[in-house]
Amino acid sequence: MSLTPIQAGAPVLDTAALGRLMPLYLWLGPDGRIRGAGATLGKLFPGTPLIGRELMDLFALQRPRNLDGVADLAAQAGTRIKLTQRAAPHTSFRGLAVPLTPADGIMLNLSFGIAISDAVREHRLTDSDFAPTDLAIEMLYLVEAKSAVLDELRDLNRRLGEAKAAAEQQALTDTLTGLDNRRALDRALAEAVRARRPFGLMHLDLDYFKAVNDTLGHAAGDHVLARVAAILGEETRTADRIARVGGDEFVVMLPGLTDPKAVERVAARILARLEAPIDYNGAPCRIAASIGITSTDFYPAPEPDRLLSDADRALYAAKRAGRGRVTVFDDGLAGDAPRSEAARPGAEA
């Protein structure tokens, strides 16, 4: 079937050529009946010859709305139209209608638009169902490429999440003070004992810290802890390891400093510094500390756990003797029960 030229000399296509250019075209006569349809459109209505059918029987018109018939559609020439297949799977189309001669009616060219993936799947379309100028295949390519890349990114995020969790698990730093944490301390102690490197050990517990937290709030408490960490750093040597092992408990490992008198001197300096109130936004925070000391020299075969619990016993003795004191472990304290489990290093924090 052929179209009539709109004006003399205008090019005219036969419907076969038109179908190759626009596999989703519909030619509607003035009566609203289909006179021609592209092959791909025919594929969407298997077993239903399209020629002679009324457009409105096969499609619901979503845009423009409230049109009575093809004559109205012709009047709307040039505006975008939106159609939906009345039968399942209700594929939707967008397109454009242009008027032909009054005797020939109008020409519609349709496209799947954003529903392309569904349409291709539901109607089992292939490459040859699309005009070579149509970007449908590129669109499908992009959809799959995007899914493949998203899958990779999802995997990457999962692996990064796992790595982050593992890194936190293996972290060796106390995030509030920047000091070593309990895990780092345990490593350093084990390493020194294994390598038979002697050291002194100091266990420090803040006094009145809870009062600061309770009266001035946790931010003040955090500020005090950071300040204490700084003082411990200033009063010890670079090679000394300082760890925060509980809420307000610190352990200092002093390599080579095994003479308890020498360790006591360091402890006394620290206590003196901590006696001065710590300023928090103009509010003085008054704390003090008690310190227990031990040394690898006290043991024929030093063990980290033993040293830690003996330093803890000495600390407990210092607290009992009144706050702000230093006590060096001796065998007389060995029978003392260590402090309650809750106060043991590593049990908090």
Residues of this chain that bind another protein (CB under 8 A): 117, 120-121, 124-128, 137-138, 140-142, 144-149, 151-153, 155-156, 159
Buried b (16+ CB within 10 A) or exposed e, 192-218: bbeeeeebbbbbbbbbbbeebbeebee
| For another protein, the closer CB: 127 or 168 | 127
Min dist CB 137 to another protein, Å, is 6
Min dist CB 184 to another protein, Å, is 23
Min dist CB 132 to another protein, Å, is 11
| For another protein, the closer CB: 159 or 320 | 159
| For another protein, the closer CB: 141 or 299 | 141
| For another protein, the closer CB: 80 or 154 | 154
Of 129, 207, 240, 248, catalytic: 248
Give the count of beta carbons closer than 10 Å to the beta carbon of residue 173: 14
CA distances in angstroms from 171 to 30, 104, 153, 202, 327, listed in the order given? 79, 79, 26, 23, 32
| For another protein, the closer CB: 122 or 264 | 122
* Residue 129 known to be catalytic: no
CA distance 52 to 1: 13
| Paired tokens of 194 | 């294994």
- Exposed, middle or buried by CB within 10 Å (0-12, 13-18, 19+), for 288? middle
Give the count of beta carbons closer than 10 Å to the beta carbon of residue 110: 26
| 61 φ, ψ (degrees, to nearest 5) | -95, 120
Report the phi/psi class of residue 178: left, alpha or beta, with left for phi > 0 and alpha for psi in -120 to 50.
Answer: left
Min dist CB 156 to another protein, Å, is 5
Min dist CB 141 to another protein, Å, is 4
CA atoms within 13 A on the CB side of 218: 2
| 9 φ, ψ (degrees, to nearest 5) | 90, -10
Active site residues: 248
